[in-house]
Chains A and B, each alone.
Chain A
Amino acid sequence: MSKFLQRHQKAVLSTLLVIVIAYGFYFWDSVRTTSILNFSLSYALPLILAAMVGIIGERSGVVNIGIEGQMLLSAFVAFFAAVATGSLIIGAFLGMASGLLAGAFLGVAAVKWEMDQIIAGVVINIVAAGITSFYYTPGQSLPAIVPRIEIPYLSQIPLIGQVFFNKSIFVYATLILVVVLQVMLFTSKWGLRTRAVGEYPSAADTAGINVYRTRILNVAIAGVLAGTAGAYLSLDAAGWFERGFTAGRGFLALAIMIFGAWNPFGAMAAALFFGFASGMASQLQADEVINIPQQLINMLPYVMTLIILSLAAGKVRPPGAVGQPYKKEG
């Protein structure tokens, strides 16, 4: 335990600081604090999931620019499947399946066909935009809303209880996933293989790891997470769908991934920070504390992304073989 504290001194301290500050504000103004934090979490959730997609891909050496398209496609499929079948569960699963399909396409294109990974990702984005805007029909509504699941006792804790323990299945699944992924990536056999393939594929190959299969499988499985993010967006967060629905979240997620130094926990913290900044800005705007036109507030996450990326450059190191197709020698 003390070793853990030593190694992660900064992270532990800043987490504690955040908690203390949050409760400080909570006792000052409980309603607003809860609402800002609720906003932060729901804003951050798809970004967290999408950043995990990016992390899994890049840790195994595949750049995924197509997260945006994967999310858009699965949000579309989830929404209209739910409308057609009358079941949110079927919608969610079909959304995830479409994410898997798009992920598998990227995996096969990038690894097997050795297509330029950036171009493969952009193709996914444009194809997803094409499909969803052609088959989109306006005026549909969901058969039900995603139920909140209140966790007994935990939901009674002030602040945290309402923010984290009275949410839909998507929120719980995501939070659990981040922890599992963090642990798996750095302690399991899968994690070691994934990182080996992403850092130094020829060494991994020599050690008997199937580089191609690992990469394709990882990118495809990550597609399921992108599908979940899409399903969350259209079924839970919004409850509707429109053309260009994901609004650049897939790209924000990539910035968040870099900001979080390709670590699940880091990315989650970065996503929550993004959510918090947006929530804070909207709240201040609503209270007329600041008077900045909405258009300029909408700009905030994108400007933050650019600033963060230019600051992060050189400070964090991407996986060694990211973006390079692997080819066996000889």
Chain B
Amino acid sequence: MVIKRGDCLQTETDAKKLHPSLEYLIKKQSFIVPIIAVIVALIIGSVLIYFQGANPIGAYKTILQASLGNERGLIRTLEKTTPLILAGLAVAVALRVGLFNIGAQGQLIMGAFFATWAGFTFTNLPALIHIFVGLLAGIIAGGLWAAIAGILKAYRGVHEVISTIMLNSIAIAILDYLVNYPYKEPDQPLPRTVPILESAQLPKIGFVPVGFILALLVATFISWLINRTTTGFRFNTVGANKFAAAYAGIKIKYVVVSSMLLSGGLAGLGGAIETLGITYRFEPAFNKGLGFDGITIALLARANPLATIPAAFLVGVLRSGAPTLQFDYGLEPEIVDLLLALTLLFVAAPILGKLIFRKRAEKSENVSSGWGS
């Protein structure tokens, strides 16, 4: 792609057009947009629930009660939130570099499987080390899986949206094969692995799962990394303007590959925590759709690492409370998919889209849009 003569001029005139107070609103009050999006989505959702013949307020109340109203519900909510935070972080980190990683799903299940593998393969390890090895296996597996997309992007110009989607399907197929043949639990009808050893299991502190605390720490760390370090500066610069970054001597290919490695590592960690802390084994039907939730979360959080925590919590509450709706109101739990889709629609919708993404899109034109490199 060629830098056109008008490019820098255009951005200048654009900057003039924005009213100072509006600029302030975008910069400082950016959380308003996602909150409005969520509220609008919930209102429209309530109309849809009403048309399904259920009482919307009652339905929302049921979700809240089931997910936050008692200890078991709360634990389940925290457990659901954990991989969501990490999936959201994965998407957010890549977005900072102008990459749209929609393959968090594949990276997550890769991480989940290899964490499990480490969990049942290594024996005679002390618990702390075994857990560490398991988590590391998940991070590495997820990271390498995403790095394939990064390498294809950096060196072959393959658009990451396509490659990560393909890698999702390939990961599903490979893991399906692994749990059906070489790693199938013997003498069991279901295709799944053997359980991990007790030494690899993530414990709980009180009622709080350790994985959740870990996710909070990781989110804080990523926030520091993105906002306060040279690495983060490189990421943001490449995301904001590839040409300026190259001109400043930043190795773009290196940043693309390493950011995908980090992004996939985060997703892989999410999967690892899930298997080491909750399911204790790997099953192919493992958490379908977590990757897509990650996109919604990252966009809700506007690619701000710390903001992924409340965004993931919101999604976690909905996901953890929704199955009760089936019982109480006969509503399919997929209502959550619909609510989240609506939220995403409004968070990316016209005016919001203009305010949030247009500036990005202009500055980084070919980074997140278009095919060539």
Does A177 have its Cβ within 8 Å of any Cβ on chain B?
A: no
Contacting pair B353 A119 (CB below 8 A): yes
A243 to B370, CA, bound (A): 29
Contacting pair A116 B370 (CB below 8 A): no
Contacting pair A322 B354 (CB below 8 A): no
Measured between beta carbons, the chain A residues less than 8 angstroms from B177 are: 293, 295-296
Contacting pair A127 B342 (CB below 8 A): yes
Contacting pair A127 B371 (CB below 8 A): no
Q: Considering only CB atoms, which chain B residue lies closest to A292 in the complex?
A: B177
Contacting pair A123 B337 (CB below 8 A): no
Contacting pair A318 B370 (CB below 8 A): yes
Contacting pair A130 B169 (CB below 8 A): no
Measured between beta carbons, the chain B residues less than 8 angstroms from A306 are: 152, 158, 163, 166-167, 170
Whole-angstrom distance between the Cβ of A164 and the nearest chain B Cβ: 30
Contacting pair A118 B162 (CB below 8 A): no
- Chain B, residues 262-290, CB within 8 Å of chain A (1/0): the string is 00000000000000000000000000000
Contacting pair B296 A305 (CB below 8 A): no
A122 to B366, CA, bound (A): 17
Of B131-139, B198-206, B357-365, the segment with at least 4 beta carbons within 8 Å of chain A is B357-365
Does B368 have its Cβ within 8 Å of any Cβ on chain A?
A: yes
Measured between beta carbons, the chain A residues less than 8 angstroms from B369 are: 63, 116-118, 322-324
Number of interface residues of A (CB under 8 A): 49
Contacting pair B299 A293 (CB below 8 A): no
- Chain A, residues 12-46, CB within 8 Å of chain B (1/0): the string is 00000000000000000000000000000000000
Taking CB atoms and an 8 Å cut-off, the chain B residues in 166-207 that contact chain A are 166-170, 173-174, 176-177, 180-181
A251 to B163, CA, bound (A): 9
Q: Considering only CB atoms, which chain A residue lies closest to B358 in the complex?
A: A114
Taking CB atoms and an 8 Å cut-off, the chain A residues in 94-139 that contact chain B are 109, 113-120, 122-123, 126-127, 129-131, 133-134, 136
Q: Considering only CB atoms, which chain B residue lies closest to A128 in the complex?
A: B341
Contacting pair A130 B370 (CB below 8 A): no
Whole-angstrom distance between the Cβ of B287 and the nearest chain A Cβ: 14
Contacting pair B174 A130 (CB below 8 A): no
Known: A122-B102, A129-B337, A313-B157. A115 touches B353 (CB 8 A): yes
Q: Considering only CB atoms, which chain A residue lies closest to B158 in the complex?
A: A309
Which of B48, B158, B339, B362: most chain A CB closer than 10 A? B158
Contacting pair B332 A134 (CB below 8 A): yes
A147 to B180, CA, bound (A): 39
Does A327 have its Cβ within 8 Å of any Cβ on chain B?
A: yes
Q: Considering only CB atoms, which chain A residue lies closest to B169 in the complex?
A: A302
Whole-angstrom distance between the Cβ of B107 and the nearest chain A Cβ: 15
Q: Considering only CB atoms, which chain A residue lies closest to B4 in the complex?
A: A202
Contacting pair B335 A115 (CB below 8 A): no
Known: A63-B371, A318-B370, A325-B361. A299 touches B354 (CB 8 A): no
Known: A309-B152, A322-B370, A323-B366. A134 touches B165 (CB 8 A): no
Whole-angstrom distance between the Cβ of B192 and the nearest chain A Cβ: 14
A255 to B158, CA, bound (A): 10
A75 to B65, CA, bound (A): 36
Contacting pair B173 A63 (CB below 8 A): no
Whole-angstrom distance between the Cβ of A203 and the nearest chain B Cβ: 12
Known: A129-B337, A324-B370. A119 touches B100 (CB 8 A): yes
Does A288 have its Cβ within 8 Å of any Cβ on chain B?
A: no
Measured between beta carbons, the chain A residues less than 8 angstroms from B159 are: 309
Whole-angstrom distance between the Cβ of A318 and the nearest chain B Cβ: 5
Q: Considering only CB atoms, which chain A residue lies closest to B181 in the complex?
A: A293
Does B373 have its Cβ within 8 Å of any Cβ on chain A?
A: yes
Main secondary structure of the interface of B (DSSP, over half): helix
Q: Considering only CB atoms, which chain B residue lies closest to A105 in the complex?
A: B345
Does A329 have its Cβ within 8 Å of any Cβ on chain B?
A: yes
Contacting pair B295 A122 (CB below 8 A): yes
Measured between beta carbons, the chain B residues less than 8 angstroms from A130 are: 334, 337-342
Contacting pair A134 B6 (CB below 8 A): no
Does B21 have its Cβ within 8 Å of any Cβ on chain A?
A: no
A251 to B166, CA, bound (A): 8
A122 to B104, CA, bound (A): 14
Whole-angstrom distance between the Cβ of A146 and the nearest chain B Cβ: 28
Taking CB atoms and an 8 Å cut-off, the chain A residues in 186-239 that contact chain B are none
Measured between beta carbons, the chain A residues less than 8 angstroms from B372 are: 313, 317-318
Whole-angstrom distance between the Cβ of B105 and the nearest chain A Cβ: 12
Contacting pair B176 A295 (CB below 8 A): yes
Contacting pair A134 B337 (CB below 8 A): yes
Partner of A251, one of B162, B295, B349, B366: B162
Partner of B156, one of A109, A118, A310: A310
Measured between beta carbons, the chain A residues less than 8 angstroms from B165 are: 248, 251
- Chain A, residues 306-330, CB within 8 Å of chain B (1/0): the string is 1001100110011000111101010
Q: Can you report 28 A-B residue pairs in the complex whose CB atoms are below 8 A from each other?
A: A63-B370, A113-B350, A114-B358, A115-B354, A116-B361, A117-B369, A123-B344, A126-B295, A129-B337, A130-B334, A130-B338, A133-B337, A133-B338, A134-B338, A243-B334, A248-B168, A293-B181, A295-B176, A296-B173, A305-B166, A306-B163, A309-B162, A310-B152, A313-B158, A318-B371, A323-B365, A323-B366, A324-B370
| Minimum-distance CB pairs A-B, first 10 | A130-B341, A323-B369, A323-B370, A299-B173, A295-B177, A115-B353, A310-B156, A313-B157, A130-B337, A130-B338
Report A's interface with B, CB cutoff 8 A.
Answer: 63, 65, 109, 113-120, 122-123, 126-127, 129-131, 133-134, 136, 243, 247-248, 251, 254-255, 258, 293, 295-296, 298-299, 302-303, 305-306, 309-310, 313-314, 317-318, 322-325, 327, 329
With A115-B358, A116-B361, A119-B353 known, 12 other A-B pairs at CB within 8 A are A65-B161, A114-B361, A115-B361, A117-B361, A118-B369, A130-B334, A134-B48, A302-B167, A302-B169, A306-B163, A313-B158, A323-B369
Report B's interface with A, CB cutoff 8 A.
Answer: 6, 10, 48, 100, 102, 152, 156-159, 161-163, 165-170, 173-174, 176-177, 180-181, 292, 295-296, 299, 332, 334-335, 337-342, 344-345, 348-350, 353-354, 357-358, 360-362, 365-366, 368-373
